[in-house]
Amino acid sequence: MSGDAGSGADGLGVRCACGHADRGFGTTRWQVQRWDAEQTGWVKRRSGLVAPAGDEFLRLRVRPYSVTETTGNLITNAGYSRIGNLFTNQGATQAADSTHTRIGAGDGVTAVAYTDTDLSAVAGSTHRFFQPVSGAFTIGGTRTWVVAATFGTADGNFAWAEFGIDVTAGVAAGGTTVGALLLNHALSAQGTKASGQTWTATATITWT
């Protein structure tokens, strides 16, 4: 097992094909870092944590065995509406804070659309899972938001083919059912997460 420090720059792109020169674009970069069962076991023993997050692996200088990126996802109609409602203070609308936001992965392969309200994967934990984020969206730079979630050894063990960020009405908990809002949706084949492994997905949304 490697004891080296590692980092990766992955990207999942979110683009609004608006068709107007004066409209903005939202591009989401997704980072997917993967640690195998041996690495996960070592970090658990060393840290004393039952479910260490990705930053704990990096703090202990354990390099992911694989880091990948993908581009091309879209922000849903509901996602744009929520952003607009919050910006203009219209109604009691839940913000995407640290206790209401999750990153979801699924094995669905249906083409994404602006009208999507859920992942396309069928029901059940062997096909889809939404994991609470490890903290609120942070400002990673001008016009940039960053959020991440770590899928532990028992979560998300299936072929990762789609992604999305959801916002729940209640306090976020890991589960298979989408929350009140699906902010964005993307397709990208990222391989199969096996039991015992730890994967971290990081989403960086940049507005232009």
CA–CA dist 29, 163 (Å, integer): 12
CA–CA dist 193, 195 (Å, integer): 7
Residue 148 has pLDDT above 90, yes or no: yes
Residue 100 has pLDDT above 80, yes or no: yes
Q: Residue 95: which of 147, 52, 44, 158 has the closest Cα?
A: 147
Q: Residue 185: which of 161, 202, 207 has the closest Cα?
A: 161
> Regarding predicted confidence, which is higher, 204 or 6?
204
Which span out of 62-76, 82-96, 172-186 was modeled with the highest average pLDDT? 172-186
Q: Residue 57: which of 175, 197, 205 has the closest Cα?
A: 197
Residue 9 has pLDDT above 50, yes or no: no
CA–CA dist 164, 179 (Å, integer): 11
CA–CA dist 136, 190 (Å, integer): 25
Q: What is the mean pLDDT of residues 49-54?
A: 95
**What is the pTM (predicted TM-score) of this model?**
0.85
CA 79 to chain centre: 15
CA–CA dist 98, 88 (Å, integer): 21
CA–CA dist 39, 62 (Å, integer): 7
Average pLDDT of the chain is: 87
Q: What is the mean pLDDT of residues 194-207?
A: 93
Q: What is the mean pLDDT of residues 104-116?
A: 96
